[in-house]
Amino acid sequence: MRVALKFCGGCDPGFERGEYWQAIARAAGPEIEWARLEEEGCQAVLLICGCDTACPQKDMPPGLRQVCLKDDRLAPGQVVKKILQKE
């Protein structure tokens, strides 16, 4: 699955967003092809936001399925399942 990755700006995040994404990418392996939001052909977007405000959420293109993370409590494997809609 081709998935767009978008981070919030990170003004005062509650966790290490970059590290969390790397763990998610490792858990996903080849099942997810990561892309930038501007690129064509994405079936979903993974938003990794540092707090509940989730600033970029309101600017997402309509029609693109969002998985929005506001903390790092969900295990990376569970995040991947959510993206792939396996749960």
Partner 1 sequence: MKTIRTKEDYLQSLRELGSVIYFNGQRVADITTHPAFIPHINAAAKTYELAQRPESEDLATAISHLTGKRINRFTHIHQSVEDLIKKVQLLRLIAHETGSCFQRCVGWDAMNATYMTTYEIDQKHGTQYHARFVEFLKRIQSENFMLVGGMTDPKGDRSLPPAQQEDLDLFTHVVEKNDKGIVIRGAKAHQTGGANSHEILLMPTQAMRPDDADFALVAAVPLNAPGVVQIFGRQTNDERKLTGGMDAGNPDYGLVGGETLIVFENVFVPWERVFMLGETEFAGLLVERFATLHRQNYGGCKGGVSDILVGACALASEMQGSAKASHVKEKLAEMMHLAETLYAGSVACSAMGSKTASGAFYPDPLLANCTKHNVTRHIYEIARLAHDVAGGILATMPSEKDLNSPEVGGYVRKYMAGVKGVSPENRMRILRLIENMTSGTALVESMHGAGSPQTQKVMYGRLGKMDMKKKMAAKLAGVQ
- Shortest Cβ distance from residue 51 to partner 1 (Å)? 8
Nearer to partner 1, 35 or 55 (CB): 55
Q: How far apart are CA 10 and CA 29, in angstroms?
A: 25
Burial of 61 (0-12, 13-18, 19+ CB in 10 A): exposed
Residue 72 sits at φ, ψ, to 5 deg, of -110, 30
Q: Which member of 15, 25, 27, 44 binds partner 1 (CB under 8 A)? A: 15
Asked if 59 touches partner 1 (CB under 8 A), the answer is: no
Which residues of the shown chain bind partner 1 in the complex (CB under 8 A)?
12-16, 51-54, 57, 70
